[in-house]
Structure 1
């Protein structure tokens, strides 16, 4: 395999910006297949609330890593990296270009750059942080991380307790910032990555997010979440679009308040996504309304 001629086109950007639509257009143009790097869309029980590709969209191009796991499965970024690279090795035997799409920055980076190495730390640190989470709440841990590692605080999924605890245990256990271990020795890739970013003015992004939440509710997200309430303790369900509805089912929040929180948390998520993706200075950024032919021209030019 001549790795010089193998290209992974990675499409990134905030939620609800139109990445799925662009990925299908590019897959059809290059007669190739799509890898999803959206960690929420891996789970077959979470279809509506993750805005996964529709049946019609899935039929327009072959997709990998969509609804291939159960929320009961233990699955993490390390397992995804291994499976994704194995899939790419196979696809590059018959394709010169493969498309990857997704808004989960850590999962995108795992494929394009390889995972970071972190030192082993005493497991009692994590146990202590988990206890602290239960006793004093996530905000206390977030403030702790802000003091120890402002860079990690600004870039990781700060509303995800698992991510916050992971960053904190490295800070505490190693005595060094979690972010200092990022981007060190990485695995070499047999392909070149061309990253295409979609964006828009903040107001447009936020309006698209608000509209998407309304659409998902109309499609039956409330019913989907209701079926999963008994599993709400699972990590996969500790995510925007489900945790707010669980609070409504428990009568802790009104329905209207839960929906507003869904929209607010989705907007916050989009802001973090942009912060993460803007770190890659090699990304070719386009307005979300850009004609696909101009994006293809930029891809072809960068391959020269």
Structure 2
């Protein structure tokens, strides 16, 4: 059987983890996470990591594999995930890669250009300024100083904007100048599955998940990582809103409402990203049987 990686992508709270576990069990294999934050041991509640039971059900790679003090980016992820795939292929012909970080999935499937190193001083300065001035400041900086990037950027995604500004400050060059757009060739087959839900159901799942996160201790988790608040992994939904509460900028109730709003917006951005990939075969997340039949047809019978 040809070595194959099944990619399961989709928006947050759509049911990717549960589906990936069923697929991995059906093919007797392991899962490589493609989530940019679940690799960090110190943050579990706000990243919606698989439960202890789910982690026992199927071996997972890139979950709790790094400390928040370490820098992990798409380039490093590409190398790690390819290494994980080789380890799985030594035992099994099929591997499952599952997550919602589109850039990480693209890096694994197509490769990613090497980016220049950024000094911690530059990163800390930009993050402090962002915390003080907000998204509008980031947008203004890049619109004025790197219009080529800004013209094609996800302008509502602070992580992407911060990264572009870091590169600009460190090298004097646009991040676009480091992109060659050459696609790497992989020596295994890739099958891409996308799952989603009707908007109303997805939004209900998001709201329920946020309430469960708060009940599970999200506030205490955010307090525990306050010393690392400038880290890129924490410039994200679920952490920034609680930081604002801890800074006295908002009430806890309003922070929770904002987490729900920002998570819905993030899910919309994820769907926009993945729908640009014409190789993805889409399914309703509730159609587990249809997904398994589709994969068995492609993998076992071919």
Q: TM class, shorter-chain normalised?
A: 0.7 to 0.9
- Which residue of the partner structure matches residue 297 of structure 2? 301
- Which residue of the partner structure matches residue 8 of structure 2? 11
2:186 and 2:275 map into 1 onto residues whose CA distance is 22
Q: Is the 8 A contact 2:138 2:158 kept in 1?
A: no
Shift of 1:162: 2.5
Scaled by the length of structure 1, the TM-score of the pair is: 0.85
Per-residue CA deviations over 1:123-170 (Å, capped at 9, x if unaligned) read: 9xx78x939757754313324546544663248834555335258679
- Which residue of the partner structure matches residue 261 of structure 2? 264
Shift of 1:217: 0.9
Q: What CA RMSD, in Å, does the superposition of the two structures yield over aligned residues?
A: 2.9
Q: 1:148-167 maps to which residues of 2 (within 5 A)?
A: 148-149=148-149, 152-154=152-154, 157-158=157-158, 161-165=161-165
Scaled by the length of structure 2, the TM-score of the pair is: 0.86
Shift of 1:213: 0.2
Gap regions ≥5 residues in structure 2: none
Match of 1:112 among 109, 112, 127: 109
223 and 158 in structure 1: CA distance in 2 versus 1, 3 angstrom threshold: closer
Q: Is the 8 A contact 2:159 2:232 kept in 1?
A: no
Gap regions ≥5 residues in structure 1: none
Shift of 1:222: 1.5
User: What SS class does the counterpart of residue 193 from structure 2 fall into?
Assistant: strand
11 and 43 in structure 1: CA distance in 2 versus 1, 3 angstrom threshold: same
Q: 1:1-304 maps to which residues of 2 (within 5 A)?
A: 5-116=2-113, 130=126, 133=130, 136-143=133-140, 145=142, 148-149=148-149, 152-154=152-154, 157-158=157-158, 161-165=161-165, 173-174=173-174, 178=176, 184-290=181-287, 292-303=288-299, 304=302
Shift of 1:266: 0.9
Q: Is the 8 A contact 1:103 1:273 kept in 2?
A: yes
Shift of 1:78: 1.5
209 and 168 in structure 1: CA distance in 2 versus 1, 3 angstrom threshold: farther
1:197 and 1:171 map into 2 onto residues whose CA distance is 37
2:35 and 2:242 map into 1 onto residues whose CA distance is 21
